[in-house]
Amino acid sequence: MRRSLHALAAIVVMTGGAAAYLLLPRPAAAQAVMLYKNPQCGCCEAYADYLRRYGFTVTEKPTHDLAAMSRGVGLADDVQGCHLSMIETYAVSGHVPVDVIRRLLGERPDIKALTLPGMPQGSPGMGGTKAAPFEILQVSQSGVVTGVYARR
């Protein structure tokens, strides 16, 4: 019976340490990313590849519980991106550009998550043309959107 109770999703926070060697300039050692995604979502895979191109070591984990997991890290339904990346102690939701993630890891603000809600056209991993600047929101430890962390 255990078999059918698939994973009441414990969120695994991966810490940095896995090594990768890259051509692209970057500040520190390669970061390990655990990326939770819907099993049928192709753009999440494209985003994982995008992170890899910039030197992240990405493990993709399909799940049916993405919305609940996103809520679990303080992201209300209306600000969730379409996948969830766990990087060090941070949750990064959706198609957040890599320079914003690097800034996050460099500045290490006392927040829980960053999110780019939805699937904006033209964002990394998405096709299409960018229609408007992306607003990457920051979410406090208590799960409140406290402002725009970056515009791209």
Partner 1 sequence: MSNFLAPTLTRRNLLAGMAGTVATTLLPVRHGLAGAPVVRDFALRPAPGRSPLLPAPRDPTPVWSYNDAVPGPEIRVRQGERLRIAVENGLDEGTTVHWHGVRTPNAMDGVPDLTQPPIAPGETFLYEFDAVDAGTFWYHPHQRSFEQLGRGLYGPLIVEEAEPLRVDRDVTWVLDDWRLGEDAAIADDFGSRSDMMHAGRIGNVVTINGRVADDVAVRRGERIRLRLINAANARIFALDFTDHAPLVVALDGQPVTPHRPASGRVVLGPAMRADLVLDCTGPVGSRATVVDRFYDGLEYDLVELAYGAEPLRDAAPEWPVALPANPLAEPDIAAATRHEVLFTGGMMGRMVMEEMAGRAGGDGPGGGMMGRMRSMMGMMHGDGIWLINGVAAKGPVLEPMLTLKRGRSHVLAMTNATAWPHPIHLHGHSFRVVSRNGEPTPYREWQDTVLMAPREIVEIALVADNPGDWMFHCHILEHQMSGMMGVIRVA
Q: Which residues bind partner 1 (CB under 8 A)?
A: 1, 3-9, 38-43, 60-68, 70, 77-78, 80, 82, 119, 121, 126-128
Q: How far is the CB of 127 from partner 1 (least distance, A)?
A: 5
Q: By C-beta, is 55 or 94 nearer to partner 1?
A: 94
- Cα torsion angle, 109, 69, 143, 132, sign: positive
Between 78 and 110, name the residue whose CB sits nearer to partner 1.
Answer: 78
Alpha carbon distance 18, 4 (integer Å): 32
Closer residue to partner 1 (CB): 41 or 98: 41
Q: Which of 21, 40 has the CB closer to partner 1?
A: 40
Nearest 10 degrees: Cα torsion 36, 64, 82, 55:
20
